[in-house]
Amino acid sequence: MPPYKVLVLAPYLTVEQAGAAQSTITILQALSRTGWANVTVAAFTWDERLIPSNIRRVRMREETWPAPAWRLFPLPDYWHALRGLRALRLGDYDLCYTQNIALGLAYRRVYPDVPIASHPGAILWDREVLEESGAPRRWRRVQARIARWLERRSYREPRWRHFASSRLVADIRCASFGLEASTFEVAPLPIDPTRFDPSAIKRDVRQELGLSREHFVVVTVARLVPWKRVDAVIRAVAPLTQKVVLLVVGDGPERPRLEALASSLGVSDRVRFVGRQDPPPFLAAADLFVLPSLIESLGLVYLEAMMMGLPCIALRYRPPAVLSAASEVVTDGEFGFCVNNDEELRRRIESLAATPELCRQLGRRARETALGRYTPDKYIDRLRALLRTTRSTTVEVR
């Protein structure tokens, strides 16, 4: 039987990109090691070091839209993708995989008979636009309606398999769009175990930052936006012993406010803002990972921390204020804890700082679990099963 022809569509695949881009790179690398897939990746740009040599690369042309076009986001993304894919003439594949709804819809328009598997990261695309768009509020509402319209279109398409990172995300989307539970296959995005391997880290971040082994290092990795609630972590660490240090890995519009908060609480020396960095060395330097985010479709960063042998603290699902699936990953007392409020967050950090051996035990269990559940091989096995279905039958896949 000839190898399956798989097309992967992505906007950007570079080391600076986080989340979806990194998981797409991990999936590409895993697919390149199989003997059953001939893979083509089409993207606006990529880092050559990250894409295996046996994967065919096709560059989609980027366009600059007139300034007023931002008001109609994400429609310009869809229009641009449609024009670019028509110009490329990629041809037919056994499967098109993407984590971008606009790219998937554009490809379906050009190649209506090719099965598509999509795995967008947001819980609901319109909610993400409302939270993250830099547009004025009135235009954010317009953009969110457009995003919702596009997402709804994807659910009406035949031969389209929809993946969700968690049961929570699947349930929320089903309720929001009136879909059947069978619409979604729950499949956590994978983590590269060779990249997130404590034994492979050569960089000594503790030494660089002047921290001894006696320090209890808490780390958070996030884009610095309000709903990630890094401010809650700073407040939780502030009243604790001088030996508790917080590393804030990431950047974003909230950084000046967060730095001012640390200064006002008198803990600028114990809260280190290191900017946007490659996470593994900083995770390797830490004892505990904390991210009390209000919105997480699963939280790849929790999986990355677990893979590095760190216990995690997250927020427990509490709608409508907290829409986080972290509790599907962070099992209380097994690999960390999910908390209900900021006081409980402070107490958990304080307790683990006082019992470092318990912290290490939780971290060991976290790594064992991550290696057993969240490797790329398990994820691409799902894609292979889907390919077998599409090649052997014409039954429509929802």
Question: What's the pLDDT score for residue 150?
Answer: 97
Domains of the chain by residue range: 4-190+375-392, 198-373
Separation of alpha carbons 101 and 119, rounded Å: 8
AA letter at 66? P
Mean pLDDT over each residue of the chain, to the nearest integer: 92
CA-wise closest residue to 134 among 16, 252, 295, 291: 252
CA-wise closest residue to 193 among 330, 29, 37: 29
- Contact (Cβ atoms closer than 8 angstroms) between residue 349 and residue 236: yes
Question: What's the pLDDT score for residue 392?
Answer: 58
Separation of alpha carbons 108 and 112, rounded Å: 5
Q: Do domains 4-190+375-392 and 198-373 have the same CATH topology?
A: yes
Report how far Cα 332 is from the mean position of its chain's Cα atoms. 22
- Contact (Cβ atoms closer than 8 angstroms) between residue 26 and residue 50: no
Tens-place pLDDT, residues 311-357: 999 999 998 889 899 999 998 889 999 999 999 999 999 999 999 99
pLDDT of 7 higher than 60: yes
pLDDT of 188 higher than 60: yes
The DSSP bridge pattern shows strands 160-164 and 244-249 to be: unpaired
Run of H or E including 16: none
Alpha-helical regions (H) of the chain: 20-32, 75-88, 101-110, 125-132, 137-156, 167-177, 205-209, 230-237, 255-264, 279-284, 300-307, 342-354, 356-373, 376-392
Tens-place pLDDT, residues 44-94: 999 999 999 999 999 998 777 676 777 888 898 899 999 999 999 888 899
Contact partners, residue 395, CB within 8 Å, separation at least 6: 389
CATH superfamily of 198-373: Glycogen Phosphorylase B; (3.40.50.2000)
pLDDT of 398 higher than 60: no
Query: What band does 5 get if pLDDT is binned at 50, 70 and 90?
Result: very high
Separation of alpha carbons 206 and 334, rounded Å: 27
pLDDT of 394 higher than 50: no
Contact partners, residue 393, CB within 8 Å, separation at least 6: none
Question: What's the pLDDT score for residue 1?
Answer: 72
- Could you tell me the sign of the dihedral formed by the alpha carbons of 95, 99, 102, 103, in that order? negative
Query: What band does 210 get if pLDDT is binned at 50, 70 and 90?
Result: very high
Question: What's the pLDDT score for residue 18?
Answer: 65
pLDDT of 105 higher than 90: yes
The CATH architecture to which 4-190+375-392 belongs is 3-Layer(aba) Sandwich (3.40)
pLDDT of 185 higher than 90: yes
The more confidently predicted of residues 393 and 263 is 263
Q: Lowest-confidence range among 48-57, 204-213, 382-391?
A: 382-391
Average pLDDT over residues 28-41: 95
